[in-house]
C-alpha cells in the first residue's frame, strides 16, 4: 500500500516484534503509519502483516530519507531499537533529515540519564525528544500496552492523541498520560520493572513452598493459582503462572514444561538499575533487592550443584496442616506484594522530588492497571489510596492497607517461619516482612550502630533529649574532633 509523501501521521523505526506490533496497533486505530528498519525484509514483513490483518494504513519506506519524507509536519517518530549505542546511532542518522519542531520518541528500556542527554543534544537543533516506557510485551504492544512518556509538555501534546488511543484501556481511561519532564517516563518504567522482579520472585517462592513443602502436583498448583486469580491476588502474573504450571511438555510429550526448564533466571538490567537508584535515593527496597540477588544466585548453577553435596539443611521438617499452609501463603503473598509496591513508589517519589519532576503516583498506579506485566486488581486500591492522600508517605500506612497488613501478618509470619525451619529459601517474602517490621517500629537498634560510627570514625550522633550533633570521648584515646556540623554534613544529604 503506497502513501503520498508527507501524508503519514507517525513513523516507527525499528521492526523487531515489539516494533511491528506497536506499528500495527497504531494503524489499527486509524493512524497512517510509515515503518522503517535497517533491513528491508522486516519492513516488507510488517507491511504484509498489515495487509493480512485488514489492509491497515501502514506504509513501507526504503531508506531513512524516504521514511521521513512520508511524514506530515511536525514529524513524529517512535524508535524501538536496542537501548544504548544503537539508539544514539539511529537518532544521529535520522536527525540529519529532520527540522526544528519535529519529535523523536524512544520507546526502549533506556537508562534515564541517556534520555536526558539526548534531549539536551537534540534541543540545540530545535528537535523535540521524549523517553517513553512501554510495558506489556509483544501482546500488549499489539493490543494496548501501558505507555509511560516523559519529556517537554509540547512533545507530549504532539503524541497525546496517538498514545491515548493506542494504550490499554481500563474503566477510568487510557493507561498512559503525561508523567513529567524528560527522564520521568524512563524512570517510572524502570521502577515498574523492579516491582515486576519482586512480584515474580514472590510468586516463585510461593510455588517452591507448594511444591516442596505441601507436595502439590503441577495440576493442583495450577488450580490453586487459578483460584487465587479469582480473588484479591488477581493479576497478570498470577494468571500466567496458572497456565505455565498446567502446560504439558511439548518436546517430550511427558510431564510439564516448567519441570524441564533450567533454574537459571536471566536479567536485562532494569532490576539492577532500580536497586542502584534505591540506594542513590536512600530508599529501602529490600523486596526488589532480594529478587535481584535471587537471580544472581540462580545463575551460579554449577556452584550450587557442588554446594549441595557439602552444605546441609535441616533434617526435621515441621509438621503443619497443608490447608493452613495454602491459606497462609495467599495472605503472605498479598502482604509482600503491598510492600513491593510501597518500595517502588517510594523510589519514584524520592527521585521525583530530587529532580523536580512532580510525578503523580496515583497516575502511575492507573497506568499500570492495564496492558503491563504488573497489572493487578491490587492497583485499584493503590490508585485510590494515593488519590485520597497526595501526601501519603508510604503505602503501608494508608488506613485500608494498614488494616489488611495488620490482620494478615500472622499468616505471613507463619510462612516465613516455616520456610526457615524447612530450609526453603524465601528471600523476598522474608525481606518484605522485615521491611514491614522495621517500618512499624518506633525504635530500632540504629542507636548502637551510630555509636559505633562515632567510636571508630568520629561521625557524631544525635541525642533523644537535646538538639544538635554530639561526639563522645569513648575512651582516653578519643580526642576532640573540631566542628561537629562539618563532620556530620554528608549524613543526611538524601533524607
Is residue 166 within 8 Å of 175, Cβ to Cβ? no
| Cell digits of residue 254 | 511427558
3-class secondary structure, 62? coil
DSSP for 65-78, please give it.
HHHHHTBPSSPEEE
Query: Can you spell out the DSSP letters for 344-395?
Result: HHHHHHHHHHHHT----HHHHHHHTTSSSTT-BTHHHHHHHHHHH-TT-S-G
Residue found by looking up cell 506497536 in the block: 22
Report yes or no: 172 and 366 within 8 Å, Cβ to Cβ.
Answer: yes
What angle, rounded to 10 degrees, do the helices at 399-422 and 378-388 form? 140
**Which residue among 32, 70, 196, 337 is the active-site one?**
196
3-state percent breakdown (helix, strand, coil) of the chain, nearest 5? 55, 10, 35
Neighbours of 413 (CB within 10 A): 17
Is 196 known to be catalytic? yes
Query: Residue 290 has which C-alpha cell?
Result: 532480594
**Dihedral pair phi/psi, residue 148, rounded to 5°:** -120, 85
Among residues 426, 434, 438, 433, the alpha carbon closest in space to that of 202 is found at 426
Which among 32, 42, 70, 189 is annotated as catalytic?
189
* 409 CB-near residues (< 8 Å, 6+ apart): 335, 436
The Cβ of residue 244 has, within 10 Å, a number of other Cβ atoms equal to: 17
Distance CA 463, CA 483 (A): 17
Active site residues: 189, 196
Amino acid at each position: 500500500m503506497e502513501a503520498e509523501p508527507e501524508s503519514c501521521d507517525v513513523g516507527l523505526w525499528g521492526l523487531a516484534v515489539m516494533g511491528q506490533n506497536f506499528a500495527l496497533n497504531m494503524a489499527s486505530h486509524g493512524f497512517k503509519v510509515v515503518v522503517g528498519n535497517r533491513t528491508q525484509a522486516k519492513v516488507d514483513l510488517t507491511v504484509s502483516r498489515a495487509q493480512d490483518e485488514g489492509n491497515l494504513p501502514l506504509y513501507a519506506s526504503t531508506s531513512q530519507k524516504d521514511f521521513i519524507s512520508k511524514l506530515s509536519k511536525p514529524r513524529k517518530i517512535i524508535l524501538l531499537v536496542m537501548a544504548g549505542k544503537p539508539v544514539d546511532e539511529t537518532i544521529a542518522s535520522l536527525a540529519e533529515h529532520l527540522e526544528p519542531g519535529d519529535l523523536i520518541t524512544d520507546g526502549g528500556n533506556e537508562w534515564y540519564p541517556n534520555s536526558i542527554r539526548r534531549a539536551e543534544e537534540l534541543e540545540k537543533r530545535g528537535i523535540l525528544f521524549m523517553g517513553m516506557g512501554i510495558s506489556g510485551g509483544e501482546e500488549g504492544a499489539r493490543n494496548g500496552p501501558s505507555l509511560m512518556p516523559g519529556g517537554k509538555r509540547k512533545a507530549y501534546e504532539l503524541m497525546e492523541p496517538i498514545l491515548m488511543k493506542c494504550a490499554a484501556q481500563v474503566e477510568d481511561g487510557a493507561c498512559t498520560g503525561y508523567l513529567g519532564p524528560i527522564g520521568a517516563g524512563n524512570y517510572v518504567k524502570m521502577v515498574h520493572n523492579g516491582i515486576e522482579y519482586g512480584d515474580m520472585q514472590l510468586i516463585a517462592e510461593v510455588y517452591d513452598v507448594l511444591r516442596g513443602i505441601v507436595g502439590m502436583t503441577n495440576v493442583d498448583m495450577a488450580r490453586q493459582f487459578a483460584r487465587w486469580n479469582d480473588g484479591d491476588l488477581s493479576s497478570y502474573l498470577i494468571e500466567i503462572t496458572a497456565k505455565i504450571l498446567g502446560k504439558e511438555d511439548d518436546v517430550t510429550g511427558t510431564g510439564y514444561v516448567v519441570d524441564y526448564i533450567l533454574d537459571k533466571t536471566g536479567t536485562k538490567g532494569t532490576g539492577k538499575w532500580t536497586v542502584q537508584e534505591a540506594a542513590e535515593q536512600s530508599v529501602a527496597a529490600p523486596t526488589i533487592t532480594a529478587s535481584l540477588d535471587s537471580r544472581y544466585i540462580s545463575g551460579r548453577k554449577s556452584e550450587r550443584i557442588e554446594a549441595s553435596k557439602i552444605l546441609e539443611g535441616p533434617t526435621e521438617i515441621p509438621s503443619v496442616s497443608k490447608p493452613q499452609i495454602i491459606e497462609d501463603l495467599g495472605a503472605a503473598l498479598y502482604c509482600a506484594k503491598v510492600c513491593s509496591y510501597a518500595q517502588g513508589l517510594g523510589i519514584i517519589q524520592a527521585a521525583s522530588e530530587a529532580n523536580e519532576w512532580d510525578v503523580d503516583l496515583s497516575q502511575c498506579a492507573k497506568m499500570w492497571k492495564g496492558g503491563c506485566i504488573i497489572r493487578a486488581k491490587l492497583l485499584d486500591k493503590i490508585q485510590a489510596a494515593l488519590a485520597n492522600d497526595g501526601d501519603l508517605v508510604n503505602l503501608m500506612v494508608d488506613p485500608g492497607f494498614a488494616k489488611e497488613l495488620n490482620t494478615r501478618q500472622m499468616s505471613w509470619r507463619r510462612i516465613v517461619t516455616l520456610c526457615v525451619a524447612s530450609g526453603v529459601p524465601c528471600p523476598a517474602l522474608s525481606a518484605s516482612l522485615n521491611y514491614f517490621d522495621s517500618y512499624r517500629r518506633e525504635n530500632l537498634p540504629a542507636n548502637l550502630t551510630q555509636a559505633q560510627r562515632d567510636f571508630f570514625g568520629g561521625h557524631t550522633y544525635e541525642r533523644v533529649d537535646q538538639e544538635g550533633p554530639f561526639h563522645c570521648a569513648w575512651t582516653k584515646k578519643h580526642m576532640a574532633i573540631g566542628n561537629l556540623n562539618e563532620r556530620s554534613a554528608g549524613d543526611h544529604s538524601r533524607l
